[in-house]
Amino acid sequence: MKGNFQIILVVIFMALALFGVLVFAGIIKIGGDNNPTGAQGTVVLWGTEKTQTISQAIEDFNKANPTFIVKYVQKYPETFDNDLLEALASGTGPDMFFISDELAYKYSNKIYTIPYASYPLATFKNSFVRAGEVFLTGKGILAFPLVVDPLVMYYNRSTLDANNIIYPPATWDDLENDVPLITQKDDSGKIIKSAVAMGQFSNVLHAKDILTTLFMQLGNPIVSEKEGTFFSTLDTSNVKYDLSSVLKFYTDFTDPLNNIYSWNRALQNSQDDFSAENLAFYFGFASEFTSLVNKNPNQNFLAAPMPQVKNSNLKLTFAHTTGIAISSFSKNFNTAFTAASLMATGDFASAYAKATNAVPARRDLLAVKQTDAFFPIFYSSALFGESWLDPSTSDTDDIFRNMIEGVLSNNMTPSEAIRDSSAKLDILFAK
């Protein structure tokens, strides 16, 4: 009962805060208006979710807000980026669009940045998880967070049981101890069963996200902002962390002479190897759960939080976030702002998360107890998920690939690779 009462209080607080924000912004008119929000007409929302998946959530939202209509238009994920750029350039773009953290920086000059005077920073942080703060800039808010996708550790229960490992590793030290117990090699030294896929880039799915998780767990934010300018913090000197040692730790898993040798470039990609039950631990996103089940319905696996730094007061994992952004080219801005605000803070957010089998980004929704075997881990991981503003995913993939392969080829020391990557990241922000 106490938990339910707290949830109700949070919802009421958010509703009152949103009402105050809309009044302050001049979108809600106090008085005898039959349409107090001032929102009218039709606004178009673009996204890549299938129409049939979220049509009921959209329909229910429109019924609850009869003075205006949100029209959803489905786009293909492969062409969404180009379609949106071309539409905005031609003046025919949507009023709102679902946007991921990976595209937020790229579209920041085409998104209406909501000033903190209109939506207070404290309200945002009290309402949404930390991963949603990737949409915060010095000038305001790029998008209202909707769902979050945390990086977790999937593990093969049968493999752990066979090796007398009672619990999955909670820390990286625990993982190091488990690797020699699980990894199996033949007489020629060829790996036939791996503990964990780390050390490489090409066949380790989410290698960049795993490595940035390690960096951020030591307190490095990857990217920072000063007076509207973003810059890399990878080469920032700080006694609290040494990123070169973290990079070396990562690459040690592919060193045949190291005790934690568990992976090499000759193996298949990490997700396939896990589904083939040749890999004990797989670092993947919560959104991959269904595909993992479909790949091997008979596999005995569960999920656990990402390992953490031993004795650290900080708990963190990488997480992607999807939010609702308002186009700066919208011809019906008041309605777009009202709709986006209500979608993120009202019933639509819960309905959208359920329809897409995703984890909500709102704190009060994460307080709802989950009873299945996986979503309690996904929900708890979402609370300590964090992201960073990626200027270009394809370019930063190349940067992190070169960082890792530069060390593996002995062309660079870990320190040199960190400095080189940081300089290249700064160049991306300077473009």
Domains of the chain with CATH codes = 2-148+320-372 (3.40.190.10), 150-318+388-430 (3.40.190.10)
Average pLDDT over residues 353-363: 97
Confidence of residue 354 (pLDDT cuts 50, 70, 90): very high
CA–CA dist 390, 239 (Å, integer): 25
Residue type, 111: I
What per-residue confidence (pLDDT) applies to 14? 54
Gyration radius (Cα) of the chain, Å? 23
**Positive or negative torsion for Cα 241, 215, 141, 349:** negative
Task: Report pLDDT digits (tens) over 223-252.
Answer: 999 988 999 999 987 656 789 999 999 999
- Least confident among 185-189, 268-272, 391-395, 409-413: 185-189
Task: Report pLDDT digits (tens) over 141-162.
Answer: 999 999 999 999 999 999 999 9
Q: Are 243 and 215 in contact (CB under 8 A)?
A: yes
Q: What is the value of pTM for the model shown?
A: 0.90
DSSP H helical ranges for 219-328:
243-252, 270-275, 289-295
Asked if residue 90 has pLDDT above 80, the reply is yes
What per-residue confidence (pLDDT) applies to 35? 56
What per-residue confidence (pLDDT) applies to 236? 85
CA–CA dist 84, 420 (Å, integer): 33
Confidence of residue 290 (pLDDT cuts 50, 70, 90): very high
Element (H, E) at 194: strand 191-196
State the CB neighbour count (10 A cutoff) for residue 255. 16
**Positive or negative torsion for Cα 122, 123, 127, 131:** negative
Asked if residue 21 has pLDDT above 50, the reply is no
Cβ neighbours for 49, distance < 8 A, ≥ 6 positions apart? 74, 98, 355, 356
CA–CA dist 177, 179 (Å, integer): 6
Q: Are 205 and 318 in contact (CB under 8 A)?
A: no
Q: Are strands 96-100 and 301-304 parallel, antiparallel or unpaired?
A: unpaired
Asked if residue 363 has pLDDT above 90, the reply is yes
Phi, psi of 163 (to 5 degrees): -110, 20
Asked if residue 66 has pLDDT above 80, the reply is yes
CA–CA dist 74, 17 (Å, integer): 31
What per-residue confidence (pLDDT) applies to 341? 95
**Positive or negative torsion for Cα 29, 33, 35, 41:** negative
Percent of the chain with pLDDT over 90: 85
Q: Are strands 317-326 and 144-156 parallel, antiparallel or unpaired?
A: antiparallel
Cβ neighbours for 406, distance < 8 A, ≥ 6 positions apart? 412, 416, 417, 420
Residue type, 317: T
What per-residue confidence (pLDDT) applies to 19? 47
What per-residue confidence (pLDDT) applies to 92? 87
Asked if residue 268 has pLDDT above 90, the reply is yes
Asked if residue 37 has pLDDT above 70, the reply is no
What per-residue confidence (pLDDT) applies to 16? 44
On average, the pLDDT of the chain sits at 91
Q: What are 11's two structure tokens?
A: 């919802």
Asked if residue 385 has pLDDT above 80, the reply is yes
Asked if residue 3 has pLDDT above 70, the reply is no
What per-residue confidence (pLDDT) applies to 288? 98
Confidence of residue 28 (pLDDT cuts 50, 70, 90): very low
Cα atoms found within 13 Å of the Cα of residue 264, Cβ hemisphere only? 13
CA–CA dist 315, 306 (Å, integer): 9
Q: What are 62's two structure tokens?
A: 């429109």
DSSP H helical ranges for 79-171:
80-90, 101-104, 121-127, 157-162
